[in-house]
Amino acid sequence: MTVRTRFAPSPTGYLHVGGARTALFSWLYARKHGGKFILRIEDTDLERSTAESVNAILEGMTWLGLEYDEGPFYQTQRFPRYQEVITQLLNEGKAYRCNCSKERLEKLREEQMARKDKPRYDGHCRHLNVDPHEPHVVRFVNPQDGVVHIDDMVRGKVTIQNSELDDLIIRRSDGSPTYNLSVVVDDLDMAITHVIRGDDHLNNTPRQINILRALGAEPPRYGHVPMILGDDGARLSKRHGAVSVMQYREEGYLPEALLNYLVRLGWSHGDQEVFSLDEMIELFDITDVNKAASAFNTDKLLWLNQHYIKTDEPARIAHLLSPHMGELDIDPSEGADLVDVVRAQQERAKTLVEMAEISAFFYKDFTEFDPDAAKKNLRPVAEEPLRKVRDALEALPEWTPEAIHQTIQDTADAMELKMGKVAQPLRVAVTGRAASPGIDVTLHLTGKAACLRRIDMALDYIRRRAAD
């Protein structure tokens, strides 16, 4: 048997992290077992589904690197097939037309609630001959006796009494198929062998199994993954911060960091925290996923992101960093080589946004110094060391890190100062802040003209400050 899994989002919004984790688990299961991963867009909700949401889902999948082997398939393009199956069920007596009014159904629900019964349809139209030309829905004839056994890959054995289920609607009064019908037909036609999805779908599973069996099909194996919670124990939502996959890209996260973090939400392999994609495929097993919900921890994600920024190839980080530089109105081709900048900053940033912000000074002048850094380092006592090192730097025939370092050291020695008494005011003068990579690398990448120009600005700042 060839393993075939699917990810089937509804295009009513962005690709959120819960959906991305489900997609990852399904993708890993298929890859581990030499199977196929299918992408299906469940767009039957015509009022809420949008092309923008479809694009957001596809963009998110591409950014994460979760390539699909078949699809994307769109349910709206399969309506004739759903109607064919509905007609088959009607002809076989496994479905029936129902013309119960909204008022009758509301009254039925109220009576059941008053008796503290579980609200459900009472089968009123099951044996009636409803005219197909009058307004109606089509309901599935759910078995009234027996049980549905689910051998869930995450939750274990789950048993549902058929008496707890009612005759669900499979075609609405407007002729459109419902979710449970279209999902069943798709899983059947696409030969899906394993369905990995959120546990909010667990209530649908026995209904879908009964429809599949009514069609003479063997149901796939199911695995229902628990939800993701925020740090406060509530279901993850926008108020906890970013929940859209693409928002994480905008905030400067690497796709491999997010994938690594998501795979660890509810699954573990000993004490290992960092997993390459190959290791995920080799080690991940859906049966090892916890039954309990997992809490999202942004600090852990940041730690992983910093790890990947530190250890990835500088050229790749530069490629991913470039758009974030553009957000700061910086053209990285005009100035220091961005790969060299990444090498200098890899140990210093947790996100690409942070790396862009602390690297902006390499490419453009700033208008003011960090107040705390200036107050501490750009004092009158720093004026003479800054002026002397500026003149020495201007006289350098070659602008190399080695020559810059030696010039700063010579200036400090000549003035009988410690290196830091020259280097730190110089750092603040050139970068506008108290922290940067090594002073020789910082000045080299900033460029001679910009360094001299900014030192002059710092000297003017010191003189104005002394005059106040």
CA pair distance 54, 158, nearest whole angstrom: 34
Residue with tokens 């209530």: 203
Average pLDDT on 345-352 reads: 97
**Please, are residues 461 and 369 in contact by the beta-carbon 8 Å criterion?**
yes
Question: Residue 141's Cα: distance from chain center in Å?
Answer: 40
> From the CB of residue 319, how many other CB atoms can be counted at a distance below 10 Å?
13
Residue 94 confidence (pLDDT) above 80: yes
Average pLDDT on 181-198 reads: 98
Is 238 known to be catalytic? yes
Question: Is the pTM above the cut of 0.85?
Answer: yes
Dump pLDDT digits (tens) for 224-242: 999 998 877 777 765 666 5
**195 DSSP 8-state letter:** E
Kindly indicate the confidence band of residue 141, based on its pLDDT and cuts at 50, 70 and 90: very high
- Taking every pair of C-alpha atoms in the chain, what is the biggest distance, in angstroms? 106
> From the CB of residue 449, how many other CB atoms can be counted at a distance below 10 Å?
10
Residue with tokens 């030309």: 133
Dump pLDDT digits (tens) for 391-414: 999 999 999 999 999 999 999 999
Choose, from 238, 291, 364, 418, the residue flagged as catalytic: 238
Residue 215 confidence (pLDDT) above 70: yes
Using CB atoms within 10 A of its CB, is residue 456 exposed (0-12), middle (13-18) or buried (19+)? middle
Element (H, E) at 166: none
Residue 133 confidence (pLDDT) above 90: yes
pLDDT of residue 241: 62
**Please, are residues 340 and 447 in contact by the beta-carbon 8 Å criterion?**
no
**399 DSSP 8-state letter:** -
The share of the chain scoring above pLDDT 90, in percent, equals 93
Dump pLDDT digits (tens) for 265-322: 999 999 999 999 999 999 999 999 999 999 999 999 999 999 999 999 999 999 999 9
pLDDT of residue 239: 63
**182 DSSP β-pair partners:** none
Dump pLDDT digits (tens) for 410-459: 999 999 999 999 999 999 999 999 999 999 999 999 999 999 999 999 99
Which residue type is seen at 37?
Answer: F
For residue 407, give the nearest of 427, 393, 387 by alpha carbon. 393
pLDDT of residue 387: 98
Both tokens assigned to 309: 């920024």
CA pair distance 10, 20, nearest whole angstrom: 13
Residue with tokens 């553009």: 326
CA pair distance 26, 40, nearest whole angstrom: 13
Residue 202 confidence (pLDDT) above 90: yes
pLDDT of residue 244: 87
Residue 13 confidence (pLDDT) above 90: no
pLDDT of residue 17: 92
pLDDT of residue 242: 59
Please work out, in degrees rounded to the nearest 5, the angle formed at the alpha carbon of residue 301 by the alpha carbons of 299 and 307.
105
Contacts of 64 (CB under 8 A, 6+ apart): 20, 23, 24, 245, 255, 258, 259
Mean of pLDDT over the chain:
95
CA pair distance 43, 76, nearest whole angstrom: 6
